[in-house]
Amino acid sequence: MTRKPEDGGIESSRNMTPPTEDGFMPLEEPAHPGWLKIGEILKVSHPVFANSRFLIGYHHSSNSYLLAGDYLTLVDPGNDYTIFSDIEKLGFNLIDIKKVVLTHGHRDHCMGIFEMLRFAPIFESKQVEIIMHAAGPQEFKKLTTDAGFPPRELTGGETLELSGFEWEVIHTPGHTIDSISLYHEQTGTIITGDTVLADAMEDADQNAGGDLEHYLYALREIMKRKIVHVLPGHGVPVAVTGKRAVEETYEAVMMKVLGVAPADNITWMEGAKRLVQKGLLAEAVYCCDKDLSLRPLNLTALQLKGLTLNDMGRCEEAIEDLDLVLAREHHNLYALTARGQALLGLSRYAESLPYFDEVLAKDPEIKEAQVFKGMALYFLGRSAEAMKIEAFKTEFNDRFRHLSERNRQEGNP
């Protein structure tokens, strides 16, 4: 997918009519399916979707979602004036739209709001609440405020009551800085805007604060939840296999961060090592897990995962993986050092010492083991012994000097 700079919209191949075999475009495009029932698409009988509808986006307009319940909520009004007349044809009344939620401020998702505000009863009643992230476009917020509809600004973490049902707001920056997703826990359904699409990955729009590493953070946040269904900003909804759709986007963003083209052949372990070098530790662990799902006893993956978990402070998990390595490679110095480090991280100082002693007995020059041993001794109150270890003494003095310098700059004693 590519974003067109002149209109800010999405040109999706799924919304274009393909040419015929002789290369000519057909005279007429197939009829648009119109508003479809979400419950029927997802095969979900929950009341939140009993009468709610989905409209697949037109050429330069996003998908729209109409949540029906105690009143109507419109998620992403798109950028097409016809959707509102079509809503009335379904038997709904536009005046019953009480809330409009924007997944982000790109015009293909939000500009339809101004067409809706032209409807006199809505404009005069001023009873529509516009909801968006606080980092959304300032010009858009000024226009709606000047029209008498100041938006409610979100930061993420809120619970919204939409048409009588609760949806969690997740801040999902990456595609844009103001992107949000809406999560309905009871059905495992998430409305993702452009953060997760059915069969594509959106770019990070730097003009709107987009950032690929933020994108990874956002997807990581989504993956903490039980995802069953995805209602994306473009293309068809993903029923049942929503979790995999999120994972595929996560993997695609990782490869983009690493500069790996889709056609390149890269192993999970190659990806994990490169991600560690970039400091993307959670993503490296994910790649190790993917490799281990294929090769459960891959000691390289287990060891790298253990080392990475240590650096993330997840020491109990690290020990589990490192023990699997040491069960097969009893004298693996890296694994022994890392296991001692994990015990150190758990404040089990006395238990960690034998691991460092074993490593140093085999190779006295391993600086990391020297420093960790000194730390264990120091925390056990055996500072005199610790200071006899030259590597630890140097490390200790350097850190003390840096701390003293920082305190001096901050005006602390």
pLDDT in tens, 170-206: 999 999 999 999 999 999 999 999 999 988 889 999 9
Over range 9-14, report the average pLDDT: 32
CB count within 10 Å of CB 53 equals 23
SS3 262: coil
Buried b (16+ CB within 10 A) or exposed e, 225-263: bebbbbbbbbbbbbbeebbebbbbbbbbbbbbbbebeee
DSSP 8-state symbol, 238: B
Q: Can you give the pLDDT at residue 60?
A: 86
pLDDT band at 169 (very low <50, low <70, confident <90, very high): very high
Q: Can you give the pLDDT at residue 98?
A: 98
pLDDT band at 18 (very low <50, low <70, confident <90, very high): very low
User: Could you tell me which residue, 81 or 391, shows the higher pLDDT?
Assistant: 391
Statement: residue 405 has pLDDT above 70 = no
Statement: residue 29 has pLDDT above 70 = no
pLDDT band at 397 (very low <50, low <70, confident <90, very high): confident
Q: Can you give the pLDDT at residue 12?
A: 34
Over range 80-85, report the average pLDDT: 87
Cβ contacts of 114 within 8 Å, gap of 6 or more: 143, 147
Rounded Cα–Cα distance for residues 100 and 173 (Å): 20
Over range 19-34, report the average pLDDT: 60
pLDDT band at 401 (very low <50, low <70, confident <90, very high): low
Q: Can you give the pLDDT at residue 183?
A: 99
Helices (H), 172-280: 212-223, 242-258, 268-277
User: Could you tell me which residue, 397 or 7, shows the higher pLDDT?
Assistant: 397
The token pair at 104 is 């982000």
Over range 133-146, report the average pLDDT: 98
- CB contact at 8 A, 167 and 160: yes
Closest C-alpha to 52, from 42, 32, 62, 60: 42
> Residue ranges per domain, the chain?
2-255, 268-409
Rounded Cα–Cα distance for residues 233 and 172 (Å): 13
pLDDT band at 8 (very low <50, low <70, confident <90, very high): very low
Q: Can you give the pLDDT at residue 204?
A: 95
| Predicted confidence (pLDDT) per residue in 216-248, tens digit | 999 999 999 999 999 999 999 999 999 999 999
> Which CA distances in Å does 378 have to 14, 372, 385, 388?
63, 10, 8, 11
- CB contact at 8 A, 133 and 106: no
pLDDT band at 19 (very low <50, low <70, confident <90, very high): very low
Question: Residue 357: CA atoms inside 13 Å, Cβ hemisphere, count?
Answer: 8
Q: Can you give the pLDDT at residue 400?
A: 65
- Share of residues in the chain with pLDDT > 90 (%): 83
Statement: residue 25 has pLDDT above 70 = no
Over range 284-295, report the average pLDDT: 98
Q: Can you give the pLDDT at residue 13?
A: 32
For the chain, what percentages of helix, strand and coil (3-state, to nearest 5) are there? 45, 15, 40
Strand partners, 180: 171
CATH architecture of 268-409: Alpha Horseshoe (1.25)
User: 292-300, long-range: CB within 8 Å, 24+ apart, which pairs?
Assistant: 294/268, 297/324, 297/328, 298/269, 299/324, 299/325, 299/328, 299/329, 300/269
Q: Which CATH number fits domain 2-255: 3.40.50.20, 3.40.50.300, 3.60.20.30, 3.60.15.10?
A: 3.60.15.10
Statement: residue 258 has pLDDT above 50 = yes
Statement: residue 16 has pLDDT above 90 = no
What average pLDDT does the chain have? 91
Q: Can you give the pLDDT at residue 293?
A: 97
Rounded Cα–Cα distance for residues 115 and 389 (Å): 73
Over range 152-165, report the average pLDDT: 98
SS3 6: coil
Q: Can you give the pLDDT at residue 20?
A: 43
Q: Can you give the pLDDT at residue 6?
A: 33
